[in-house]
Amino acid sequence: MKNIDKYRNQQVLVLGMAKSGYTAAKLLHRLGAKVTINDRSSLKDDAHAKELTALGIHVVDGGHPEHLVSENVFTVVKNPGIPYSNPLIEKALRLNIPVITEVELAYQISEAEFIGITGSNGKTTTTMLLGEMMKGSRYEPIVAGNIGTVLSEVAQNATPEQVIIAELSSFQLLGIDEFHPRVSVFLNLFEAHLDYHGTIEEYGRAKARLAKNQTENDVVVYNADDKRISALIKDVKAQKVPFSFSGVIKDGAYFDQGYLCYNDEKILSKEEMAMPGLHNIENALAAIAAAKVYKVSNEYLRQVLTTFSGVRHRLEFVKELNGRRFFNDSKATNILATKKALGAFKEPVILLAGGLDRGNGFDDLIPALTNVKAVVTFGETKNKISEAASAAGVKNVKIVDNVEEAVPSAYDLSSSGDIILLSPACASWDQFATFEQRGDMFIKRVHMLK
């Protein structure tokens, strides 16, 4: 870890506890800062709050008092999910106080270089897959970031012989300043998180920050099939390495005549891939293009792609029961992710969908429902999804209250040979704290079926 003096004896406000806030507060304390951490929830019985207090860190809970931000504050480190409309953030920006996320802290102290991966869909799968591929390079990979492991935690022990492969959300990227990845990867861009960003343009600008500090010595891997992505990286200084699902391209990764290729060399056929779904071919192409920057051999890439079967909650096979196969795709928190999941199966599908209502409709889902024989919907969006399913001509549509009720209902509507797929097309926050909790409930209920 780089022992930087930037924060020594400086007042720093950490906004939001959670994992990232707790880790950032401890790191800043280690760097000699005078740290205050603030969370709107009560932390009276919180073990992390007690630990931070014992270290001499000032813990303020139960709200966001405005006096915490003054001209004496050097930096605000905020939880990525806290919007910029928060009064403390607005006040800090008026006072020209830097507002960063812990991603920036991680970069400032890291001795390892970074690969940053962003996009609307496929980030987790691509990050995990690239992590496996990079084991075939001269660097030891560390997989972290929005994937669940706090970057500023792993960066403290990272060495120059390692590389940090970071899944990065638009929320995290809004809070970077100096962050400079050796390789940036842009997967795709479509309308998501507009309740936070306001417009697709602002969302895209947040994503584009990943490459803003890259130079001619760096590499940007990008989806040549996505016009929005191509426009975003048009003026990036880094060397551009494209990937494409739609055919042969020069100096990049592509899918052609059933094969995943790189620079005119076939790596393997789609039938040999362990991960199901055409969308995972795109994820694999992105990972291949990034791995090739580090000279990973085709033989090693092939070995990984024939054994890597995916990540939890992303088209995760659960079990087979009486001829029905159950898949958990709880990480599909938007329409595009669900469309891609549905496209992974030729068999008839019983779709379980629903969740947080962000105000959008589901007409975009209708063309993907042609192979769906029944829909079981739940949560805040259940009526909207029911209407979309009926408009698509799905004959069996059932509304239930939650995932727990949806599983036996889906089984009752199914036959031997069917796929029963949880792919909600919505965030989980109406009924669950995380999409992982939602997926775990699905799995638990599947295993209870007789």
Contact in structure between 254 and 244 (CB atoms under 8 Å):
yes
Please report the pLDDT score of residue 275 as a whole number. Answer: 86
Residue 412: DSSP 8-state: H
Q: Tell me: the pLDDT tens digits for 400-434?
A: 999 999 999 999 999 999 999 999 999 999 999 99
Span of 97-111, 132-146, 192-206, 308-322 with lowest mean pLDDT: 192-206
Alpha-carbon span 234 to 222, nearest angstrom:
10
Alpha-carbon span 319 to 373, nearest angstrom:
20
Please report the pLDDT score of residue 192 as a whole number. Answer: 59
Please report the pLDDT score of residue 78 as a whole number. Answer: 97
Average pLDDT of the segment spanning 311-333: 90
Strand order in the sheet with 34-39: 58-61, 34-39, 11-15, 73-78, 99-100
Average pLDDT of the segment spanning 123-136: 95
Contact in structure between 29 and 51 (CB atoms under 8 Å):
no
Q: Give the Å distances, CA to CA, from 419 to 87, 362, 379, 426.
A: 47, 22, 22, 20
pLDDT confidence bin for 449, thresholds 50/70/90: very high
* Residue 434 CA neighbour count, 13 Å, CB half: 7
Average pLDDT of the segment spanning 389-409: 97
pLDDT confidence bin for 191, thresholds 50/70/90: low
For the cut 70, the answer to whether the pLDDT of residue 196 exceeds it is: no
Average pLDDT of the segment spanning 113-118: 98
Binding site as annotated, residues: 119-125
For the cut 90, the answer to whether the pLDDT of residue 340 exceeds it is: no
For the cut 80, the answer to whether the pLDDT of residue 195 exceeds it is: no
Q: Find the helix or strand (DSSP H, E) in which 289 lies.
A: helix 278-293
Q: Tell me: the pLDDT tens digits for 65-109?
A: 999 999 999 999 999 989 999 999 999 999 999 999 999 999 999
Contact in structure between 220 and 214 (CB atoms under 8 Å):
yes
Please work out, in degrees rounded to the nearest 5, the angle formed at the alpha carbon of residue 361 by the alpha carbons of 125 and 81.
50
Q: Give the Å distances, CA to CA, from 391 to 66, 300, 353, 363.
A: 49, 47, 16, 9
Please report the pLDDT score of residue 419 as a whole number. Answer: 96
Span of 123-132, 187-196, 313-322 with lowest mean pLDDT: 187-196
Alpha-carbon span 424 to 265, nearest angstrom:
38
Give the domains, in start order, of the chain with CATH numbers: 11-100 (3.40.50.720), 105-305 (3.40.1190.10), 316-448 (3.90.190.20)
Average pLDDT of the segment spanning 287-296: 98
| Average pLDDT of every residue of the chain | 94
Please report the pLDDT score of residue 42 as a whole number. Answer: 95
For the cut 90, the answer to whether the pLDDT of residue 321 exceeds it is: yes
For the cut 70, the answer to whether the pLDDT of residue 374 exceeds it is: yes
Binding site as annotated, residues for ATP: 119-125
Average pLDDT of the segment spanning 41-59: 96
